[in-house]
Amino acid sequence: MDYSSTTTNTTTSSLFFLFLLLLSANATGIRRPAKSNSPPPPPLSLPILSPPPPSPPSEPLRFGKNGHFKILQVADMHYGNGKTTPCQDVLPNQISTCSDLNTTAFVDRMIRAENPDLIVFTGDNIYGFDATDAEKSLNSAFAPAIRSNLSWAAILGNHDQESTLSREGVMRHIVRMKHTLSKLNPPVSEAQDIDGFGNYNLEIVGVQGSKFENKSLLNLYLLDSGDYSTVPSIPGYGWIKPSQQFWFQQTSLKLKNAYMKKPQPQKDSAPGLAYFHIPLPEFSRFDSTNFTGVKQEGISSPSINSGFFTTMLEAGDVKAVFTGHDHVNDFCGVLSGIHLCYAGGFGYHAYGKAGWDRRARVVLATLEKTEKKSWGAVKSIRTWKRLDDQHLTTIDSQVLWTKSSSDVQTGCWREA
């Protein structure tokens, strides 16, 4: 996000609200003007019209033989040009030696420490205004994930398209990279005219050899929350549009139906997690009394509420939402059974707070043991953060959801 944030939540009448959504549903993205003391941004490239090459067949994402599936979230790397790109908001003794390479080193450290099953990059992967070659910056930003040989996925923020590639061009470059599970958008058969780029879902199936080995036990929804409003009368950031919400509803229903069918038919939906860049207006419903973590800046959500939180509530499967965008917020609180969680700022060429360590969020889903000592459905979903300090300190461990309770309150957990 920019230094100046827009933090308003506007209640509109239903007719006016629908009118605004219809205006914006098929709009294309625009660039936010650079600050007056910044050089003019480079021109965007023309959209790439050829489809990405088909992905080679690959093994599905799967829970490990220990019944675990771990996700590392990396938010707001803001990668520029590498070692020549200086850090922002670090201590005086760090300035002379700090660059984008510190961001790369942090990704490497997190991969070694957590050994995740999946890495999810939640936007502002590069900082377009300072990245002179978008392709090179993207390649460098995702290099640690690629050389780790781990599966990874990415979505866009509000700054990724401000260099030498359009928003579509950035996503098309990402989907061609090694080991990525990123998708440009759903197949035309599922969503013919969907707003944005990088709307897709990922399914995590059960342990190999168990009765759930071909059934998705955890579903991830990744969405493009846009960059800036395309409606002149509405200031501020973009939002998740009706076309995206319709795709989400249809996908959620399809996954629920599959989960409730043989083999091993279940009574309800598998738990889901949603990842996108810009926080929902509902993030402003929290204060220090009802969340875990810190809130050190305003909530930079869209200035209108497009209703996606309600859409998730109605679908019933999403247990937690994970965003970035506001770098010095890292809190996680529960609202109507859905946890709304920031990752906290990760990148060193992103604004932050000197002396407040960069950080990353980890999510761990654990399966239950069946009566026959095999692995069953998801039993619990937990989260914690790690700091980029000397010891990669773990903080703010929480239970987000358990199978026995669909509305776990924010709190700490301890291993039995």
Q: What pLDDT does residue 405 have?
A: 55
Q: What pLDDT does residue 94 have?
A: 95
Q: What is the mean pLDDT of residues 355-365?
A: 98
- The residues, any chain, with a CB within 8 Å of residue 70's CB and separated by 6 or more, are 114, 115, 116, 117, 118, 362, 363, 364, 365
| Reported confidence tier of residue 209, pLDDT bands at 50, 70, 90 | very high
Whether the per-residue pLDDT at 168 is higher than 50: the answer is yes
Q: What is the mean pLDDT of residues 90-106?
A: 97
Whether the per-residue pLDDT at 410 is higher than 70: the answer is no
- Quote the percentage of the chain above a pLDDT of 70: 83
- Specify the 3-state DSSP secondary structure of 329: strand
Mean pLDDT, rounded, of the chain = 87
| Reported confidence tier of residue 44, pLDDT bands at 50, 70, 90 | very low
Q: pTM value?
A: 0.86
Q: What does the alpha-carbon distance between residue 153 and residue 322 come to, in Å, rounded to a whole number?
A: 14
Looking at the domain that runs over 68-402, which CATH code has it been given? 3.60.21.10
Q: What does the alpha-carbon distance between residue 21 and residue 23 come to, in Å, rounded to a whole number?
A: 5
| Reported confidence tier of residue 206, pLDDT bands at 50, 70, 90 | very high
| Reported confidence tier of residue 186, pLDDT bands at 50, 70, 90 | very high
List the structure tokens of 374: 């095999």
Q: What pLDDT does residue 13 have?
A: 40
Q: What is the mean pLDDT of residues 30-40?
A: 34
Q: What is the mean pLDDT of residues 352-363?
A: 98
Whether the per-residue pLDDT at 400 is higher than 90: the answer is yes
Q: What pLDDT does residue 5 have?
A: 43
Q: Give the residue with greater pLDDT, 163 vs 48.
A: 163
Domain boundaries, the chain: 68-402
Are 248 and 311 a contacting pair, CB within 8 Å? yes
Q: What does the alpha-carbon distance between residue 165 and residue 314 come to, in Å, rounded to a whole number?
A: 37
Q: What is the mean pLDDT of residues 352-374?
A: 95
**Range 164-179 burial, b when 16+ CB lie within 10 A, else e:** bbbbbbbbbbbbebeb
Q: What pLDDT does residue 151 have?
A: 98
